[in-house]
């Protein structure tokens, strides 16, 4: 299907004629017909280097040597050097960077990239056929994937993606400025908070919380539930209850005391580490988001799969997550998707293993929900949302 489209595109662009105008267009269409055969080998031979693009602060670090112990250990074990780059800051920006090459059928020279399921691009990459199928024969440890992650609706059998880490979306508040803010009703409704709260600009996160508060199911979005949630956010924005829509730039404003409360990501608050700021899953429920590893077209499937298998070993994952204070290793401190990682984490650093923001208890996990990935790619919803947050 992708092939047909690009071929048609080539004809159309060719037919459009004209001089300089169409040259980039033609160039763009030319690469499109072949599905980047180059690196996509199915052979079971490890490459020399694994090119891995990830988000910042998302790997275990030896704070003295500034190295990533789990990557060094991987190299020792398999002889594959990991070229680890922290060049992903937001899903939209990163997708914007890679989509040109991928749509022309070119390789982006990455074997693993990491995208979030609370944004549209993860599902889009899979739908457009821009990523390779995992080599599951090389990933026996996939059995350790936690149950809640086994069948997401963007990739029901986990053929293309595996979770890297998860986090939760809830409400943070500053106890020196307000009484506890534990629900969307309060966040959007308490007149004392007018102009002192922010809402996340990520549609999936914001609407999950609001839909749960409305009594709707965020994993199966309907026009009715979308409109109800949308109108509720709009009302709060129009009445100036909401001061700004933010990405994680709410964190410094919250830390400074300009905000009393904010819709917020658990990881940011754990990193702020200020004792007057508290984070909770709202009483009607919160959102669970997961960053997923993908192999973009042209990536080395076998080598990437072997790496995925490696991080799905609970022993490895436990160290990555908790770090090891004795060896100056700082962990990732998000929520690992690997069953059994908690027991290993306990051996390295019990305080991390006991932190509910990193190893949430069952009650917490039962109250967080994953947003409908179809709704994330609904152009009509997206447009309405974008127009709301920048009116």
Partner 1 sequence: MSYFHRHRELTPYLLLAPGVLFLAVFFVVPLGFLAYQSLESGNIDFGYAFTWSWSNYWHALRDYRAQFVRSLEYAGIATLLALLISYPVAYWIAFRGGRWKNLLLLFIVAPFFVTYLIRTLAWETILSDNGFVVNTLQSLHVLGPSGRLLATSTAVVTGITYNFLPFMALPLYVSLEQIDGRLIEAAEDLYASKLHAFLRVTLPLSLPGVVAGTLLTFIPAAGDFINAQLLGGPDNHMIGNVIQSKFLELTDYPAAAAMSFILMAAILVAVFVYARLVGTEQLTGTAV
Binding residues (CB under 8 A) for partner 1: these are 5-6, 8-9, 12-13, 16, 20-25, 92-93, 95-96, 99, 103, 124, 127-128, 195, 237, 240, 242-245, 249, 252-253, 256-258, 377, 379, 382-383, 386-391
What is the residue whose two structure tokens read 């993606």? 161
Q: Is 246 helix (H, G, I), strand (E, B) or coil?
A: strand
Residue closer to partner 1, measured from CB, 75 or 99: 99
The per-residue DSSP string of 137-186 comes to GG-GGGGGB-GGGS--TTSTT-SSEEEEEEEEEEEEEETTTSS---SHHH
Task: Give the ranges where 180-311 is alpha helix by DSSP (H).
Answer: 184-189, 203-214, 223-238, 250-256, 266-272, 301-311
C-alpha–C-alpha distance, residues 342 and 212, integer Å: 29
Considering the complex, state which of residue 263 and residue 311 has its C-beta at the smaller distance from partner 1: 263
Phi, psi (deg, nearest 5) at residue 115 = -125, 155
Instruction: State in angstroms the smallest separation of the CB of 63 from partner 1.
Output: 24
Instruction: Specify the 3-state DSSP secondary structure of 225.
Output: helix
Q: For partner 1, which is the closer residue by CB, 254 or 357?
A: 254
| Rounded Cα–Cα distance for residues 140 and 130 (Å) | 24
Q: Which is nearer to partner 1, 128 or 136 (CB)?
A: 128
Rounded least distance, CB 292 to partner 1, Å: 19
Beta carbon nearer to partner 1, 242 or 353: 242
Q: Provide the 8-state DSSP code for 230.
A: H
Nearer Cβ to partner 1 (120/158): 120
User: Minimum Å distance from CB 173 to partner 1?
Assistant: 16
Comparing CB distances to partner 1, the nearer of 15 and 143 is 15
CA distances from 132 to 2, 67, 109, 330, 387 (A): 14, 29, 13, 32, 34
Kindly state the smallest distance separating residue 144's Cβ from partner 1, in Å: 34
The nearest distance, CB 12 to partner 1, in angstroms, is 5
Minimum CB–partner distance for residue 35 and partner 1 (Å): 15
Distance of CA 127 to CAs 122, 132, 138, 372, Å?
9, 11, 24, 15
Minimum gap (Å) between residue 237 Cβ and partner 1: 6
């Amino acid at each position: 299907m992708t092939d047909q489209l690009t071929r048609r595109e080539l004809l159309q662009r060719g037919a459009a004629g004209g001089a300089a105008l169409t040259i980039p267009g033609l160039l763009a269409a030319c690469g499109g017909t072949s599905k980047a055969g180059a690196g996509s080998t199915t052979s079971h031979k490890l490459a020399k280097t694994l090119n891995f693009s990830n988000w910042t602060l998302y790997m275990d670090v030896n704070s003295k040597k500034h190295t990533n112990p789990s990557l060094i250990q991987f190299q020792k074990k398999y002889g594959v050097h990991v070229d680890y780059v922290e060049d992903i800051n937001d899903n939209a920006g990163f997708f914007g960077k890679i989509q040109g090459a991928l749509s022309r059928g070119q390789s982006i020279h990455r074997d693993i990239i990491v995208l979030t399921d609370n944004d549209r691009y993860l599902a889009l990459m899979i739908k457009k056929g821009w990523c390779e199928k995992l080599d599951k024969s090389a990933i026996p440890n996939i059995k350790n994937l936690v149950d809640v992650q086994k069948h997401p609706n963007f990739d029901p059998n986990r053929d293309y993606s595996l979770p890297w880490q998860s986090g939760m979306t809830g409400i943070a508040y500053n106890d020196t400025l307000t009484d506890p803010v534990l629900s969307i009703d309060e966040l959007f409704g308490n007149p004392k908070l007018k102009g002192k709260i922010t809402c996340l600009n990520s549609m999936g996160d914001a609407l999950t919380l609001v839909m749960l508060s409305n009594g709707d199911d965020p994993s199966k979005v309907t026009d009715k539930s979308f409109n109800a949630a949308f109108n509720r956010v709009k009302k709060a924005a129009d009445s100036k209850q909401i001061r700004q829509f933010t990405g994680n730039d709410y964190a410094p404003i919250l830390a400074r005391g300009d905000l009393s409360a904010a819709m917020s990501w658990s990881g940011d608050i754990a990193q702020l580490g200020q004792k007057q700021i508290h984070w909770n899953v709202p009483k009607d429920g919160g959102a669970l988001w997961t960053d997923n590893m993908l192999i973009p077209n042209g990536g080395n499937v076998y080598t990437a799969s072997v790496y995925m298998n490696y991080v799905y070993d609970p022993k490895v994952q436990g160290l990555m997550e908790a770090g090891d204070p004795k060896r100056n290793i700082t962990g990732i401190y998000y929520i690992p998707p690997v069953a059994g990682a908690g027991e290993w984490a306990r051996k390295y650093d019990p305080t991390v293993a006991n932190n509910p923001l990193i190893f949430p208890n069952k009650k917490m996990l039962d109250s967080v929900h994953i947003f409908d990935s179809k709704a994330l790619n609904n152009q009509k919803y997206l447009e309405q949302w974008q127009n709301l947050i920048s009116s």
